[in-house]
Amino acid sequence: MKIVIVDDDVLVSSSLKTIIEANEGFEVLAVGSSGEEGINLYKAHQPDILLMDIRMGGMSGLEAAEEVLNSYPKAKILFLTTFADDEYIITALKIGAKGYILKQHYNSIIPALNAVYSGQNVFGEEIINKLPSVMSNKTSKKDYHDYGILEKEFEIISLVSKGLSNKEIAKELFLSEGTVRNYISIILEKLELRDRTQLAIFYFNHLV
């Protein structure tokens, strides 16, 4: 797995590089220290995952990530930050980041990288716990039928928003994992959403 690290704290970025490369199958291609560098390094290396801080001098990690994703919609960006700020979380989710974990949880970095690499979205426990309150004051709610969503689809959306995997949803609703995967694909297409993270945002913004 090829990684690019961007953090304006040299000690942090060098520590991350050491931690990551101590694990077999991981390679840190480059290390940057600003949002602008993050964009340029992604373009130059197109890594499997861009691991990036949020608060940096000049262009923030969020601004850099948005620019990267505009040019490379399939880019996988994992934010590693000290701050569990509500607005940061909302922005990270909306622009399509694949994960948001806190720096103090160094032991979660490798599992998070593996999960993002395999196509999952990863958010630390503190972030997941904040989502309902973060999203609760956004827009007026409608009935799910107003969006062309069927009852079973709504059940699946609500379970996705709780962070359940396809396997866990299948067990909960007595469906096959393949059926759940098909349902989610149909739901995303109906709502014109990119992934299950955006689906969770939609749920908290519009359906609860």
CATH architecture classification, 138-207: Orthogonal Bundle (1.10)
In the beta sheet, which residues pair with residue 32?
6
123 near 101, Cβ under 8 Å? Answer: yes
Q: What whole-number distance in Å separates Cα of residue 116 and Cα of residue 109? A: 11
Which range in 135-139, 154-158, 197-201 is most confidently predicted, on average pLDDT?
A: 154-158
Q: What is the mean pLDDT of the chain?
A: 85
Amino acid letter for position 19: I
Q: Is the pLDDT of residue 184 over 50?
A: yes
The predicted model gives 65-83 an average pLDDT of 88
Sequence-ordered alpha helix ranges (H) in the chain: 10-21, 35-45, 61-71, 86-95, 109-117, 125-135, 151-161, 166-173, 177-191, 196-202
2-129, CATH topology level: Rossmann fold (3.40.50)
- Give residue 208's pLDDT band: very low, low, confident or very high (50, 70, 90): low
| Between 99 and 188, residue with greater pLDDT | 188
Domain boundaries, the chain: 2-129, 138-207
The pTM of this model reads 0.64
Average pLDDT over every residue of 12-37: 93
More confident residue, 167 or 145: 167
Which of 94 and 151 is assigned the larger pLDDT?
A: 151
pLDDT of res. 140: 46
Q: What is the pLDDT of residue 139?
A: 46
Please give the pLDDT value at position 95: 81
